[in-house]
Amino acid sequence: MSLSASIRFARPGFQLSVDVEAEAGRTLVLVGPNGAGKSTTIGCISGSVAFDDGWIRAGARVLDDTSTGEHIPIESRRTGVVFQDYLLFPHLSVLDNVAFGPRSSGMSTRESRGRAHEWLDRFGIADLAGRRPPSLSGGQAQRVALARALASEPDILLLDEPLSALDVEVRDETRAELAEHLADYGGVTIVVTHSRDDVLALADDVIVLENGSVVQRGAPADLTRVPATAYVRRLMA
């Protein structure tokens, strides 16, 4: 399965025009300065932001097509999202946060909790199962948010600045672990970041966005070797 998107989005003072091709089993990193349109792009892919013109396809499935008016609602898109601040449901235990997706797909409470336990085990955080999200450290919350997104078995996984909320000391370790989990994941992954370290550690492919347009595409090494703009040169230096 692959993701193919062509998105045109205009608001007063902001225009976004981006085409995205992403392969299953690979990680695409969207990088760019603040306000470049990175989060809007993944908002469009997740279905939470409506765009003006274009289409989004996941394999043979049309998620959006403005020319035919097709639009698959968020809950049916099979798109997992990890936000910058993780947004774990504060009133549910860690286990029930992770079980939320399986439960929503029609599993019984017991089955979905069993599934959630497997994910927590795989992430090495089974001991957190009974905890409430507000009591977790940033690194723990990040792992739970990723486990929760993966537990609903999405075709597409979207990570919006997944490491920027973490303290520097735990960021490297969490990033390395994230890279391992993403390598195990079989679907399309898109990571939004403005960090060079994230690009180098996570990306198979990179798209650089500036002011709502793509300024460069390639592998991380291409960006270092032939930076297309001053921003890219500074980013990879």
Partner 1 sequence: MAVLGLPLVALIVRAPWAQLPELLGRTETIAALLLSLGTSALATIVSVILGVPLAVVLARSASWPAIPRRLMRALVTVPLVLPPVVGGVALLLLLGRRGLIGEWLNAWWGVSIPFTTSAVMIAQVFVAMPFLVLAVEGALRSSDRRFEVVAATLGASRFTVFRRITLPLVAPAVAAGALLTFTRSLGEFGATITFAGSFPGVTQTLPIATYLELQRDPNAAIALSLLLMGVAVIVLVSLRDRWVPGVTA
Residues with Cβ within 8 Å of residue 83, at least 6 apart in sequence = 145, 160
Binders of partner 1 among residues 96 to 135 (CB under 8 A) are 100-101, 104-105
148 binds partner 1 (CB under 8 A): yes
Q: Residue 17: is it exposed, middle or buried by C-beta count within 10 angstroms (0-12/13-18/19+)?
A: middle
* Segment lying near partner 1 (by CB under 8 A), choices 45-53, 54-62, 117-125, 180-188: 45-53
Interaction of residue 90 with partner 1, rule CB under 8 A: yes
Q: How far is the CB of 75 from partner 1 (least distance, A)?
A: 5
Long-range pairs for 99-105 at CB < 8 Å and ≥24 separation? Answer: 99/151, 100/148, 100/152, 101/148, 101/149, 101/151, 101/152, 101/153, 102/151, 102/152, 104/75, 104/152, 105/152
Among 37, 54, 80, 220, binds partner 1 (CB under 8 A): 80
Least separation in angstroms between residue 66's CB and partner 1 is 20
Report the SS3 class of residue 186. coil
Question: For residues 75 and 184, which CB has a smaller minimum distance to partner 1 in the complex?
Answer: 75
Please tell me whether residue 187 binds partner 1 under the rule CB under 8 A.
Answer: no
Stretch that binds partner 1, among 14-22, 53-61, 77-85, 199-207 (CB under 8 A): 77-85
- Smallest distance from the beta carbon of 204 to partner 1, in angstroms? 23
Q: Which is nearer to partner 1, 158 or 214 (CB)?
A: 158
76 near partner 1, judged by CB under 8 A:
yes
> Per CB under 8 A, does 91 bind partner 1?
yes
Residues composing the chain: 237
Which CB atom, from 37 or from 102, has the smaller least distance to partner 1?
A: 102
Beta strands in the chain (DSSP E): 2-11, 14-23, 27-31, 53-58, 61-65, 70-71, 79-82, 156-160, 188-193, 205-210, 213-218
Q: How crowded is residue 61: how many other Cβ atoms within 10 Å of its Cβ?
A: 14
User: Which of 198, 225, 175 lies closest to 31 in space, CA to CA?
Assistant: 198
Q: How far is the CB of 231 from partner 1 (least distance, A)?
A: 28
Binding site for partner 1 (CB under 8 A): 46-48, 73-81, 83, 87, 89-91, 100-101, 104-105, 148-149, 152, 154
